[in-house]
């Protein structure tokens, strides 16, 4: 089993971007902080921050207007949503299933727990 609790810093910055976009702190088409500002915010080498920017640019989540700065793509929110959904279905869920098997938790039990939490929230 691979324990991946040691994600590279640039991917952790990517996650930070995703979160801001998903909670709509960063609006589609809106300007986002510069490389230097992000490097300062998360206290990393600017080269590391650039890696995160490039990564997100390749995925077309953000884009660069030369001389002006970086912006969230017009369909940035749905792009991120798609990426995170895929990640959940392909990575997080299989782990949950594996654990359910190991601990002998049935699907009904899971469903009950899910409904219970939903009700509590209401």
| Contact pick of 42, 81, 83, 100 for another protein (by CB under 8 A) | 42
Phi-psi category of 119—alpha, beta or left, where left has phi over 0 and alpha has psi -120 to 50?
alpha
- 31 in helix, strand or coil? strand
Q: Residue for token digits 């792009």?
A: 79
Query: What are the residues facing 72 on neighbouring strands?
Result: 62
Q: Residue 91 or residue 115: which is nearer to another protein going by CB? A: 91
| Contacting range for another protein; rule: CB under 8 A; set: 7-15, 18-26, 101-109, 112-120 | 7-15
8 binds another protein (CB under 8 A): yes
- Of 8 and 94, the one with the shorter C-beta distance to another protein is 8
């Amino acid at each position: 089993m691979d324990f991946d609790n040691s994600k590279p810093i640039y991917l952790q910055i990517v996650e930070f971007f995703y979160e801001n976009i998903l909670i709509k702190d960063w609006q589609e088409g809106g300007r986002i902080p510069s490389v230097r500002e992000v490097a300062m915010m998360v206290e990393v080498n600017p080269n590391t921050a650039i890696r995160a920017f490039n990564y997100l640019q390749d995925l077309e989540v953000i884009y660069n207007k030369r001389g002006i700065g970086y912006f969230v793509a017009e369909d940035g929110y749905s792009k991120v949503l798609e990426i995170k959904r895929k990640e959940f279905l392909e990575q997080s869920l299989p782990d949950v299933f594996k654990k359910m098997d190991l601990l002998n938790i049935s699907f009904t039990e899971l469903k009950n727990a899910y409904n219970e939490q939903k009700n509590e929230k209401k």
